[in-house]
Chain A
């Protein structure tokens, strides 16, 4: 459910960035989502398709990159990417001495855009 409000923000960011770049269409959006944010890719894509319908980003593909949360063991130093539900013990030595960091990212990294010359048929005046 929380993906709806977040996806509205995502769409707005992509459209604004496209307008700044003078682009007419957004073909793709690279989104980074931390493993601890509870944001679900499919849900974001679902809301995006519904929201972007009559915008320059209609039909854009969302490419999700998951930012891992990393557990570091205070006993043996072992590091491993983790996701909820978290384990209380180190996967290498079993000690209960883990510290988890990262996994909180949620940002639009880049967009893939297309420039069409206004007033011309697409493709005929491409550079």
Chain B
């Protein structure tokens, strides 16, 4: 006998993501889920971005890694609250992991939370965490073909950053091909070229980010 079901396979995760989102909203915290390959510059971006935040926008970070505290140590050294999640081999963060991390953060003293996902262009696309903004960071040395090979993650992006843009000439990076690839699956996300090394483009990224952080959070409470 056939029984209709029609249930999302990741329903349980999505439900927890909604609960996370409600907890963030209640605390007035704006949340960015940073997704990228290993080595694209996620941690550098967090360090460069948090160094440029206006007073009243206090950051915190949830670090997702297969193992190690290398990234979270760098962030903690700047005096930024950080919670490390070691996924123990799992290739992505999921909503229950974020829920587990929440008690370790004082959300009342945070306006902007960065979640650094595990470096991977595949799985993080499928798992909602409860973030307000999905940020995909690509980087020049990875090549301009990445949107064609991993369209799923670029389709989920609210903003795409192209990092290490200072190296574009050396890598003969094809800007038009990259943009076309993103636009195949994503007609809306702004594409911003940045370099966490030289600082180029970061002002534009900050502008886009802060325009999305809701006013109550910006008011500093």
Contacts and interface: CB of A to CB of B under 8 A. Distances in A.
Contact of A109 (B6, B10, B150, B183): B6
B152 A13 contact: no
B155 interface: yes
A17 interface: yes
A36 B3 contact: no
Given A6-B126, A88-B180, A111-B2, A100 B10 contact: no
Q: What size tier do the contact residues of chain B reach? A: 35 or more
A91 interface: no
Contact of A85 (B6, B125, B145): B145
Contacts, number: 119
Interface residues of A, number: 42
A52 to B, nearest CB: 14
Contacts of A10: 9
Contact of B152 (A31, A37, A114): A37
B9 A6 contact: yes
B7 A107 contact: yes
Contact of B10 (A9, A17, A98): A9
Contact of A1 (B90, B94, B152): B90
B8 interface: yes
Interface of A: 1-2, 5-6, 9-10, 12-14, 17-18, 21, 23, 31, 36-39, 69, 71, 84-88, 96, 98-101, 103-104, 106-115
